Amino acid sequence: MQLRDFDVNLLVTMEAVWTTRNVSNAARTLNLAQSTISAALNRLRQSLDDELFTWSGTEMVPTPLVEQIMPDVTQLLNGVRTVLTKSRGQVDTVERRLVVATADYVVALIGGALLNRAAAEAPQLSFDFVEMRPQFINRATRPDIDMFIFPANALRTTGMERVPLYEDSYVCIGAEDNAALHPDMSADDFLALRHIGYSAMPRVAFNHEMMLWDDLGKSTNLHLTMGNYLIFARIVAASDAVAILPKRLATTLTGEWKLKWIEPPLPTPAIEICAMWRPDQGKDVALAWLRDTLIDITAG
């Protein structure tokens, strides 16, 4: 017999009879008619060429073949149940490692709360956060990334599902004793400061923060770029450089470092941080939980 010719559902019947030792009880367990169980058992007997169970007057007694194969049958059915649970089951039983592409500071803002929520609601989930790069979006169908989190208007995306998480704005941070950085400074004086900035690509100042300034024909005195926001505070606290950061991050860093921040004297784009995913992942229970949890975490 070929596997394609075998009805795996018959094994569910055998498991129920094995467990209850009674056809009537097996029928009640599976919410089926007793005649349906008897018919399934007869089909299984023909398929496996064995009596499987014999009636002793008080219970269905398994044959030696059933005694031999039941551990394999149980393992097989449990494997199928696990597949179904992981695809559309309850999130507290789903075992997954989710890969999320985003900026380092987003992980810093959400990571602690996410781990606490996962421990309480989805203990089998774990997370790999990887650095967000433009080429990831160009290959958004790549299966190794489950979710993208980044500003909605930072990159052009098509064919992706999205949900907004929170809104933010940009501020400029500098050392607390940097007298050159002050709230009422002119745009030209601001641009003349020594700047450090985020860039997702080497040798190219590719960032969301300065896109609008480029459109206005303005450019900063950019001396250092890197792909990690979190290190900026350490650098500006120890130098006369300044850096553009999302405000949510800046307000947390000023408590750790001797920093100050101002609203830039030039227009900056609003930040709408979104979560994005492929349309084929819409029914993924783990990702649905992650999306809902991120919305809750970032609402405050």
Give the number of other Cβ atoms within 10 Å of residue 15's Cβ.
19
CA 188 to centroid of chain Cα atoms: 42
Q: Cβ contacts of residue 23 below 8 Å, gap of 6+?
A: 17, 34, 37, 38, 41, 60
What are the φ and ψ backbone dihedral angles of 168, each rounded to 5 degrees?
-145, 175
Q: What is the pLDDT of residue 280?
A: 74
Question: Which domains does the chain possess?
Answer: 3-88 (1.10.10.10), 92-166+272-298 (3.40.190.10), 170-269 (3.40.190.10)
Query: Is there a contact between 241 and 230 (Cβ–Cβ < 8 Å)?
Result: no
CA nearest 60: which of 26, 12, 23? 23
Query: Is there a contact between 88 and 285 (Cβ–Cβ < 8 Å)?
Result: yes
* Global pTM value: 0.65
The token pair that represents 51 in the structure block: 């009596």
DSSP string, 158-216: -S-EEEEEEEE-EEEEEETT-TT--TT--HHHHHHSEEEEE-SBTTB---STTHHHHHT
Q: What is the pLDDT of residue 122?
A: 92
Q: How far apart are CA 52 and CA 75, in angstroms?
A: 18
Q: What is the pLDDT of residue 155?
A: 60
CA nearest 236: which of 218, 256, 219? 256
Per-residue pLDDT of the chain (300 residues; tens, 9 = 90+): 566 777 888 999 998 898 889 999 889 888 899 999 999 999 999 989 999 999 999 899 999 999 999 888 888 887 777 666 655 567 887 777 888 989 899 999 999 999 999 999 999 888 989 877 655 554 444 446 789 998 877 665 667 788 999 999 999 999 999 999 999 999 999 999 999 988 766 665 656 677 777 777 888 888 898 888 899 999 999 999 999 999 999 988 877 889 999 999 988 888 899 998 888 777 788 889 999 999 999 986
